[in-house]
Chain A
Amino acid sequence: DGGITQSPKYLFRKEGQNVTLSCEQNLNHDAMYWYRQDPGQGLRLIYYSQIVNDFQKGDIAEGYSVSREKKESFPLTVTSAQKNPTAFYLCASRATAGNTIYFGEGSWLTVV
């Protein structure tokens, strides 16, 4: 099936550890995004990439890092520098034509 796959769905991290969230899409979309969602709140953009080997910071990039080595993959690393990482993380992608963004099913990250 075509779509956006995020893994893992649930992840627990100890303080001081880095963790990486995976996002893979087989839609042949050029642009990919990472959003953070806190309970009862909207979506905030962390990073986005419009093309392979290029990415830009969003509104809340501090404490996060990304890479875009392949068109279909856009992993997000939550580093120990992110002071409040517990949240729901959403990956999304968009085709070159059109402004419609499609989302994955999300990953829950909890710091323990």
Chain B
Amino acid sequence: GQQLNQSPQSMFIQEGEDVSMNCTSSSIFNTWLWYKQDPGEGPVLLIALYKAGELTSNGRLTAQFGITRKDSFLNISASIPSDVGIYFCAGQLKETSGSRLTFGEGTQLTVNP
């Protein structure tokens, strides 16, 4: 079952506003990934984080790997209508064997023009 808590579940914002979402876990993660999914499409990787404390940007997106290795956040600055979609966090648990990832439940983002 899911071991990640992703919040908020949904967000309704105005174009131009900044957005922040996060994922937390009671377990330690080795990797944090952030994906965006458009309706009817597969998730697309936005940012990958591999080290505790790592802060990485991709255009208007910024994500951080928490220093406790149990959380991560994603910020979107100056939102635009095409930012609409579902954002998922995913991570690999330290104790997980093989190559399984654990996914959050997603944050549905709506941007009003």
Question: In the complex, A94→B45 CA distance in Å?
Answer: 12
A105 contacts chain B at the CB level, 8 A cutoff: yes
In the complex, which range does the number of interface residues on chain B fall in? 20 to 34
Given contacts A100-B48, A105-B42, contact A42 B2 (CB under 8 A): yes
In the complex, which range does the number of interface residues on chain A fall in? 20 to 34
**Contact in complex: B44, A41 (CB < 8 Å):** no
With a cutoff of 8 Å between Cβ atoms, the chain A residues found around residue B85 in the complex are none
B104 contacts chain A at the CB level, 8 A cutoff: yes
Contact of A103 among B30, B40, B44 (CB under 8 A): B44
Question: In the complex, A104→B30 CA distance in Å?
Answer: 24
Tell me which residues from 53 to 107 in chain B have a Cβ below 8 Å from any Cβ of chain A: 88, 90, 92, 98-101, 103-106
**Contact in complex: A94, B99 (CB < 8 Å):** yes
A59 contacts chain B at the CB level, 8 A cutoff: yes
With a cutoff of 8 Å between Cβ atoms, the chain A residues found around residue B2 in the complex are 42
B33 contacts chain A at the CB level, 8 A cutoff: yes
Contact of B31 among A56, A58, A99, A106 (CB under 8 A): A99
Query: Min CB distance, B48 to chain A, in Å?
Result: 5
With a cutoff of 8 Å between Cβ atoms, the chain B residues found around residue A87 in the complex are none
Question: In the complex, A4→B45 CA distance in Å?
Answer: 14
Query: Min CB distance, A55 to chain B, in Å?
Result: 11
Question: In the complex, A59→B100 CA distance in Å?
Answer: 11
With a cutoff of 8 Å between Cβ atoms, the chain B residues found around residue A99 in the complex are 30-31, 33, 48, 50, 92, 99, 101
Q: Across the A-B interface, give the 5 residue pairs with the lowest CB-CB distance, nearest first.
A: A103-B42, A99-B31, A42-B105, A43-B103, A31-B99
A-contacting residues of B (Cβ < 8 Å)?
1-2, 30-31, 33, 35, 40-45, 48, 50, 88, 90, 92, 98-101, 103-106, 108
15 further interface pairs, Cβ-Cβ under 8 Å (given A41-B105, A59-B1): A6-B42, A90-B42, A90-B43, A99-B30, A99-B50, A99-B92, A100-B31, A101-B33, A101-B90, A103-B35, A104-B42, A105-B41, A105-B42, A106-B40, A108-B40
